[in-house]
Structure 1
Amino acid sequence: MDQYADSARTGMRQGYMTKNRFAVSLLFLMNGFVTGSWAPKIPEFKDRLGIGESALGLLILVFGIGSLVLMPIAGGFIARLGSEKVAKLTAIILSPLLLLLTLVPNVWTAAVGMFLLGGFVGAMDVAMNANAVEVEKSMRRAIMSSCHAYWSLGGLIGAGSGGFLMARMGVLPHAAAVTLLSLAILAVAWPMVLADKPHPTATKEKLSLPTTPLPWLIGLMALFSMVPEGAVLDWGALYLRNELGASIELSGFGFAAFSATMAIMRFAGDHVRDRLGAKSTLRICTMTALVGLILAGMAPNAALAILGFAIAGIGISNMVPIAFSAAGNMPGLQPGIGLAVATTMGYSGMLFAPSLIGFIAEYSGFAVIVTSIPALFVVVLLLSRHASHADHGRGQ
């Protein structure tokens, strides 16, 4: 009887953990959906406010500043309250912000809306990554890569359906639909989100940035893993179009190929990491990304460059999830604090490095940039031994 009782308890425990994993995956899906739904609204947003490209660029910069300001704050609250409470609160606040941006009457209120949208996308990002780390520990297996795959899927759904829905429903009904669907996803996830508890001393500690070098080294891994992603997103199509003579239709396939292989490999990444360990997986992924971007940068034609971007997507897919898992599993540091450092550094690269790349490319051309970016991966390889922290708490 005891054997059957133990088996039943094990089955219940595994089922419960599966619900936790499903819930945090839904949080990633919702965050990606809101972020993706914003992209097709940008042309309408620009025209409605009557602003030019420069003003729009400043507003998008405000979005990035909002993320970088609220991410560390979210990390501090996660250390004190736990990731569950912070993830739920930030998700509630995030849900109607796209609707708010659809209603803003002028540039100044738009700037406030952009700061809030960027801020709560980023704050929720830290919280849901911290919750995914806790689920990894409780399940004793990797789930971070598939969580990021759900974010990519949400972004694809939001961006892919946005223009279609706005053309048929109108801009305001689309924003309302995004809000309602986001709240519906959150309602499904709500009762199943893993209720983690902060360390007893965390509520008494003064919130501050870590003084040990390890969080910053892992943050550097995240930074140098995400700069190439931002570069391909913002400049890949222009590189294919202007320097390799691709047609307008073909130039869009660079980032599409990159995104497709990234999403597919993120769903497979957890199984690879469980089998090989985080350190070996990171090294294989980094080398793959390095080869892909060098191929894209040295390609004589657009087709070969697109193949290079696809290979780079395979590699980059699991570099960031591994860095985030390592950041949330550092000894002697609350997961929220470590993740706040890694996400803030990582997303700063994705948000701000492309503008620097654009400035340099005016003088050097994009081929040189794409070929040179893999030098960042050498630093990731040198720091890759720290990825072993991503395996802590899971059992090997």
Structure 2
Amino acid sequence: MISNSKHRFFLSLFFFISGFSFATWASRIPTIKTTFGFNEAELGSILLAMPVGSLIGLPISGWLVSKYNSRVPLTVGYALNALSLALIGIAHNTFSLVLAICVFAFTTRIFNISVNTQTLTLQKRFEKKIIGSFHGFWSIGGIAGIALSTLLLTLNVTLAVHFSIVAILMLLVTAYSYQFLLKGDKSETGNKLILSKPDPYIFYLGIVVFLCAICEGGMFDWSGIYFQEVLNAPIFTYGYLIFMTFMATSRFLSDIIIVRFGMPKTYIMSAVFIVSGILLAIIFPTFWTAMIGFSLVGFGTASIIPMSYALAGASKKYSPGMAISIIATYSITGMLLGPPLIGYLAHAFNLRVSFVVFGLCGLMLVPITKMFFKHQRISG
């Protein structure tokens, strides 16, 4: 009999290593830009492969989680994700690069839906809130991934070697940890997508996640470019590193913050941090003001996804796996629009101007979350 604590540990390990692998990819985007000679608009178009692959994976992941126990698609998706990361590292032309990125995004979506389904199931076995801590480990993994990227950059390690090392680590973790994942979490009801008038409960949450995804995805893909081209920082990973560090800090504190202030106020505080951080970074484009600004954005975005997933899991219309899959559709749409939009705006104007988009999304979180909780009070 595997204890709940052991289940929690290995789920946390999966979150850690998934954050590690995603940060490995995102932190080397400037390297890919330089290697292939892309301008901002071309890079924005290449980055479209990420959300396109994720959108393809969404209906498949929802179906897999509803048909099997979530640990099956989690494990298979994660192993394939490791292989696709290695393929990105050895891509020698634009076509193979785009194809590898699509597969990477496709498999990321499958194991993300699966692992979040596992966390919602495990949460029911604990009295205190634990979901925020899982996402915190994702961010800690991201910090570790950026730290390794920074080290390997200073040592001039090639992209192929870097990505292959991480891929092997991912495969080893997957092979060993499978036995400790939850069994029998397949839901018997709410597994079908109902084509009708959008459920307001899910719709409002989806818009919240959509706005957050534009900010979060844009920061993942463009923070390194901002430090490289706007601030002329010799080590371009600093911006991404500080963003992820404060995101991790916020996620570990999020469960405590939510209990102390409640979700409505936590959403508002998140919006304030995002808007103030972005304004600081673009109005005063110096190294230290950008570091402070990016840290505020990381602190602000951190709680939104865990809170929204937890609320989605309480849907009366859908099972947790299907609800998360639907919410993730909005998230991926944000990822679809965000990074390319920043690239096109940066090419038309400049990168500083394009970052205003993040501030506007943070500002919109205030009225949308108020509408959600108003609907919840009326319908509840």
Q: Considering the TM-score relative to the shorter chain, is it more than 0.5?
A: yes
1:63 equivalent among 41, 45, 50: 50
2:293 equivalent among 295, 308, 311: 308
Q: How far did 1:70 drift?
A: 0.3
In structure 1, the partner of 2:306 is 321
Separation in 1, partners of 2:10, 2:349: 46
Q: How far did 1:218 drift?
A: 0.8
Separation in 2, partners of 1:235, 1:97: 22
The 1:99/1:298 distance shift into structure 2, 3 A limit, reads closer
The 1:257/1:108 distance shift into structure 2, 3 A limit, reads closer
What amino acid sits opposite 1:148 in the alignment?
H
1:377 equivalent among 354, 362, 369: 362
Structure 2 residue 181 is matched with structure 1 residue 193: yes
The structure whose Rg is larger is 1
Structure 2 residue 315 is matched with structure 1 residue 333: no
The 1:384/1:186 distance shift into structure 2, 3 A limit, reads same
Give CA-to-partner distance per residue, 1:76-128, whole Å, 9 cap, x none. Answer: 32133242232122123223223344556765444433221111012211211
In structure 2, the partner of 1:94 is 81
Q: How does 1:5-16 map to 2 (within 5 A)?
A: 16=3
Give CA-to-partner distance per residue, 1:135-169, whole Å, 9 cap, x none. Answer: 22221332232222222222333343247559588
- C-alpha contact (below 8 Å) 2:113/2:321 kept by paired residues: yes
Q: Which runs of 5+ in 2 are unaligned?
A: none
Give CA-to-partner distance per residue, 1:249-284, whole Å, 9 cap, x none. Answer: 487544433222112121221222233333332222
In structure 2, the partner of 1:149 is 136
Q: Secondary structure of 2:332's partner?
A: helix
Separation in 1, partners of 2:205, 2:64: 21
In structure 1, the partner of 2:123 is 136
What amino acid sits opposite 2:128 in the alignment?
R
Compare 123-132 and 160-169 and name the one that shifted more. Answer: 160-169
The 1:231/1:117 distance shift into structure 2, 3 A limit, reads closer
Q: Secondary structure of 1:53's partner?
A: coil
In structure 1, the partner of 2:242 is 257
In structure 1, the partner of 2:170 is 182
Compare 322-331 and 117-126 and name the one that shifted more. Answer: 322-331
TM-score w.r.t. the length of structure 1 is 0.79
What amino acid sits opposite 2:80 in the alignment?
I
Separation in 2, partners of 1:67, 1:309: 26
The 1:376/1:46 distance shift into structure 2, 3 A limit, reads closer
Q: How far did 1:384 drift?
A: 2.4
In structure 2, the partner of 1:360 is 345
In structure 2, the partner of 1:5 is none
In structure 2, the partner of 1:3 is none
Separation in 2, partners of 1:30, 1:241: 26
1:266 equivalent among 228, 233, 251: 251
- C-alpha contact (below 8 Å) 1:297/1:369 kept by paired residues: no
What amino acid sits opposite 2:260 in the alignment?
R
Q: How far did 1:41 drift?
A: 6.1
Give CA-to-partner distance per residue, 1:198-252, whole Å, 9 cap, x none. Answer: 332457x578698423222211101111212233344446656766xx4424875
What amino acid sits opposite 2:311 in the alignment?
A
The 1:299/1:381 distance shift into structure 2, 3 A limit, reads same
The 1:283/1:40 distance shift into structure 2, 3 A limit, reads closer
Separation in 2, partners of 1:235, 1:38: 12
Q: Secondary structure of 1:140's partner?
A: coil
Separation in 1, partners of 2:334, 2:118: 23
The 1:211/1:73 distance shift into structure 2, 3 A limit, reads farther
Compare 82-91 and 35-44 and name the one that shifted more. Answer: 35-44
The 1:199/1:178 distance shift into structure 2, 3 A limit, reads same
Q: How far did 1:372 drift?
A: 5.7
Structure 2 residue 64 is matched with structure 1 residue 77: yes
Q: Which runs of 5+ in 1 are unaligned?
A: 1-11, 391-396
Separation in 1, partners of 2:31, 2:358: 33
What amino acid sits opposite 1:87 in the alignment?
L
Separation in 2, partners of 1:184, 1:308: 37
Separation in 2, partners of 1:287, 1:376: 11
The 1:109/1:266 distance shift into structure 2, 3 A limit, reads same
Structure 2 residue 11 is matched with structure 1 residue 24: yes
Separation in 2, partners of 1:346, 1:353: 10
- C-alpha contact (below 8 Å) 1:226/1:350 kept by paired residues: yes
The 1:58/1:316 distance shift into structure 2, 3 A limit, reads closer
Separation in 1, partners of 2:350, 2:238: 20
Q: How far did 1:318 drift?
A: 0.9
Q: How far did 1:36 drift?
A: 2.6
Output the aligned Cα RMSD: 3.6
In structure 2, the partner of 1:222 is 209
Separation in 2, partners of 1:239, 1:173: 25
What amino acid sits opposite 1:332 in the alignment?
K
What amino acid sits opposite 2:305 in the alignment?
V
Q: Secondary structure of 2:133's partner?
A: helix
Q: Secondary structure of 1:139's partner?
A: coil
